Amino acid sequence: MPELPEVETVRRGLAPIMEGAVIARAHVNRPDLRWPFPARMADRLSGQRIVRLGRRSKYLLADLSSGETLIVHLGMSGRMQVSGSTLGTFHHDHPAPQKHDHVVFDMEGGARVTFNDPRRFGAMDLWPTADIERHWLIEKIGPEPFSNEFNETYLANALKPRRMPIKTALLDQRIVAGLGNIYVCETLHRAGISPKRSAGSLSRARAGSLVPIIRDVLSEAIAAGGSSLRDHRQADGALGYFQHGFRVYDQEDAPCVTADCAGTIRRIVQSGRSSFYCPQCQR
């Protein structure tokens, strides 16, 4: 599942093509993905200008001139592919239609953005822009990691009453938006905190220290184009490469890279997900 860096990388790739541009024609090639598409979605999108292309947690948000916002979730295998336009120094011609091209946006000027999703775990919806924070997918999401609301005091207060493992707490989208398994593992290793540690047992200072580490990990991942595991690709089809810098994620039995640590990375399962950590330097 793409996490915040992957979705932000896709947003940045799409913005030069879509932001401020008009959707000349939208084509919806099936009635649903994970859930049914909204009624008359193609008609409601066609002819609308994308005023702003934003992101909330793991969702892309395209604010339209109609006063509605298109919400896009990439799911497990969804890709937003650009063709008929130049990205950087490369021109991408329109490819032949593919079996899993479920939604196609033909933009004025000739560019095309295609949502391809083989597993169909992605989703799209339309919702009034002025009321977007009350959409059922978004209304309970916590603060964005780069926002002013996400600070040391906030996180310390949010974690204090939690008796769950810190790994589970940081994956809770109600506490902080956009974090997934990969970047929580990487954050906890840099912080020297075991994923098994109770969230509420952390001191205020140690809980607060996670804020800049989370931001550093996410910033580095965004700069690297995300982590290209399984199906993720950038809007121009390129691979991200943050996975080449993983310190713990998917590094089971590898030596710990922390200076002066002779530990070995271990894998455990928490709430059905793999956690990778060093038992020696993460306490």
On whether the CB atoms of residues 160 and 207 are closer than 8 A, the answer is yes
Whether residue 58 lies in the annotated active site:
yes
Choose the catalytic residue: 11, 55, 56, 58: 58
- What string of H, E and C letters represents the secondary structure of the chain? CCCHHHHHHHHHHHHHHHCCCEEEEEEECCCECCCECCCCHHHHHCCCEEEEEEEECCEEEEEECCCEEEEEECCCCCEEEEECEEECCEEECCCCCCCCEEEEEEECCCCEEEEECCCCCCEEEEEEHHHHHHCCCCCCCCCCCCCCCCCHHHHHHHHCCCCCEHHHHHHCCCCCCCCCHHHHHHHHHHHCCCCCCEHHHCCHHHHHCHHHHHHHHHHHHHHCCCCCCCCCCCCCCCCCCHHHHCCCCCCCCCECCCCCCCCECEEEEECCEEEEECCCCCC
What type of residue sits at position 57? S
Choose the catalytic residue: 3, 6, 8, 68: 3
Place of tokens 């479920």: 102
Whether residue 2 lies in the annotated active site:
yes
Whether residue 40 lies in the annotated active site:
no
Place of tokens 């804020």: 211
Whether residue 3 lies in the annotated active site:
yes
Place of tokens 């589970």: 168
Sign of the torsion formed by the C-alpha atoms of 66, 72, 78 and 83: positive
> Which positions are annotated as active-site residues?
2-3, 58, 273
